[in-house]
Amino acid sequence: TMLPLVRSLKVLALHGKGNNGPSFAKRLAPLVEEMGPSCDWTFATAPHAAGNEGGFAWWTLPPGTRSFEAAEFGGIGESLDLLEGLWATEGPFDAVLGHSQGAMLTGILVGLASLDETAVFRPECAVLTGAAWPNPYTEMLHGLSQTEKVDIPTLHCWGLADTMNPPELAEKLKGCFGSEAQSLVHDGGHVVPLEASSKARIASFLAHKV
């Protein structure tokens, strides 16, 4: 049962660290199928090499440091520039879906767009799966949580068995995005939840928030 969309929907997908656009496209194939042919997906690849061959990251970290502890995200400026460029060439995008590091980046982008009316990168809605707290942006996120300015609806998905990014950090991040923020909590681990009910919920959120 594909969703009958009124018009075509453009979705930008941001992979996790050590992944790339094409491999993330394979992983999200069940959701792409659920959304149907009137949904146009762009699977971006991050600019920084990370881990195995073909693995990339949206920022670099000192060895042994996690994103929720880091003082800064090395090279994130290049990622923001790359995505602004994609917005100009392949966008504008109706929605952004990010996983893990890509989910933290999605949160940063939505936060920046909410606080800066001149931001180029401004989706209608966003889905974050398996996010942690992007520590260098703590001040921005606290500022965001005190404003009433978040008008971009977000869906925050986390797994109770996630051993990579503590679920409570995904929940903490959700708390910064105002009353429009929704949550989808599943029993799985550090994954984009694609079992039938979660897949339907994500697809419905994307289709109805735009």
Mean pLDDT over each residue of the chain, to the nearest integer: 94
Q: Judge contact between 135 and 70, C-beta under 8 A.
A: yes
Q: What is the pLDDT of residues 44-86, one digit of tens each?
A: 999 999 987 889 999 999 999 999 999 999 999 999 999 999 9
Rounded to the nearest 10°, the torsion over CA 131, 135, 137, 142 is: 90
The confidence score (pLDDT) of residue 2 equals 57
Residue 3 has pLDDT above 60, yes or no: no
Residue 210 has pLDDT above 80, yes or no: no
Q: Judge contact between 96 and 80, C-beta under 8 A.
A: no
Q: Judge contact between 185 and 118, C-beta under 8 A.
A: no
The confidence score (pLDDT) of residue 147 equals 86
pTM over 0.85: yes
Q: Which two tokens stand for residue 179?
A: 């009353």
Average pLDDT over residues 3-28: 89
What's the rounded Cα separation, in Å, for the pair 140 and 91?
25
Q: Which of left, alpha, beta for 194 (phi over 0: left; psi -120 to 50: alpha)? A: alpha
Residue 186 pLDDT level (bands cut at 50, 70, 90): very high
Q: Which two tokens stand for residue 198?
A: 């979660």
Q: Which two tokens stand for residue 166?
A: 């503590």
Q: What is the pLDDT of residues 79-121, one digit of tens each?
A: 999 999 999 999 999 999 999 999 999 999 999 999 998 999 9
The confidence score (pLDDT) of residue 81 equals 96
DSSP string, 126-176: EEEES----GGGHHHHHHHHHSS---S-EEEEEETT-SSS-HHHHHHHHTT
